[in-house]
Amino acid sequence: MPYTTLISASQLDQLRTDQSTNHSSDLVVLDCQTSLADLREGYRIYCDGHYPGAKHADLDIHGASAPSSNEGSDGRHPLPDPDQLLHHMQRWGIHNHTQVVVYDRANGAFASRFWWCLRWLGHNQVAVLDGGLSQFKGALEVGEDPTRDGSISPASLGTCTRRPALTRIATTQQVLERTNQTNANLIDARTQERFDGLNEPIDPIAGHIPGATCLPFQGNLTEDGCFATPQVLAERFAASQAPNTPEPICYCGSGVTAAHNLLAMVHAGLPEPLLYPPSWSGWITDPTRPRAP
């Protein structure tokens, strides 16, 4: 059975053992460690120690496009070009049947983005390592990612293809229409301070989209950094599943941590929400759009 939401460290270790025993290419592990403050730091952390055999998936190189020149209307981390992402997936050695596991050391924030992006290209067998790399108790591998630069032998390339998306995207117009509804069902994954406009360390304007509910992605986790049980997660998002309520639309600052809430809801067995990729950073580029507080 493929893993499609979360996978434990012990389950991943067993998959790696099976892969080694069977000499198969059914497993690819992606290290998604990223630093928003220093674009080179994520790869340095990877080189200093990563899960054995993992490849490095960088948010800015692989998981996002450069912001557009259209006044940043697509946000700080626009979705990657799908053809380019597919190219990277093939360089990582991913086939249509491959089980992909993604992880980070940031409470799953960056790994969840790659979980969403691979599913956006139709790859269902992708799961986030629950609790991140800290849950792995074996010896880390040190060194560079051979797929990052240079040529790769044709035998090492994956043959994955783009298939129908398993995810859905909300447009700015859809979000704008929600701001006029009594129950907008917009879920903001940022901290309460940023939501309330009391502290905005990244974007030039503070606040949130009117009608939104603040459910910080960190609330999906237990004290050990692992996801809460499906039952607890379902209860957390219960309000957004009330009868006659429009399906949830998730957003955050730039469309990255919102994927954490999406993962939590899918893991809880709830219908998958829509993602608003531009999120707050894209929303505020048009002064005619309403803002709160």
pLDDT band at 18 (very low <50, low <70, confident <90, very high): confident
pLDDT at 155: 82
Question: Tokens for 185?
Answer: 């069902």
Largest CA distance in the chain: 60
- Determine the topology of domain 172-283 in CATH: Oxidized Rhodanese; domain 1 (3.40.250)
Strand pairing class (212-214; 186-188): parallel
Would you state the structure tokens that stand for residue 155, as one six-digit string? 């035998």
Q: What is the mean pLDDT of the chain?
A: 94
Scanning the structure block, which residue is given the tokens 């924030």? 109
Give me 13's structure tokens.
Answer: 């270790």
- Please, are residues 25 and 93 in contact by the beta-carbon 8 Å criterion? yes
Q: Which pLDDT score, from 0 to 100, does residue 44 have?
A: 96
pLDDT at 23: 61
Check if the beta carbon of residue 30 is closer than 8 Å to that of residue 57: yes
Would you say how long the chain is, in residues? 293
Question: What pLDDT, in 10s, does the model give residues 135-181?
Answer: 999 999 999 998 887 778 888 899 999 999 999 999 999 999 999 88
CATH code of the region 6-156: 3.40.250.10
* Catalytically annotated residue among 32, 117, 160, 252: 252
d(CA 165, CA 274): 12
Domain with CATH 3.40.250.10 in the chain: 6-156, 172-283
Candidates 40, 2, 3, 5; CA nearest to 272 is 5
For residue 93, the 8-state DSSP code is T
Which tens digit of pLDDT belongs to each residue from 198-247?
999 999 999 999 999 999 999 999 999 999 999 999 999 998 877 888 99
pLDDT mean over 102-112: 96
Q: What is the pLDDT of residue 108?
A: 97
Q: Is 252 a catalytic residue?
A: yes
What is residue 69's predicted lDDT score, i.e. its pLDDT? 56
pLDDT at 180: 86
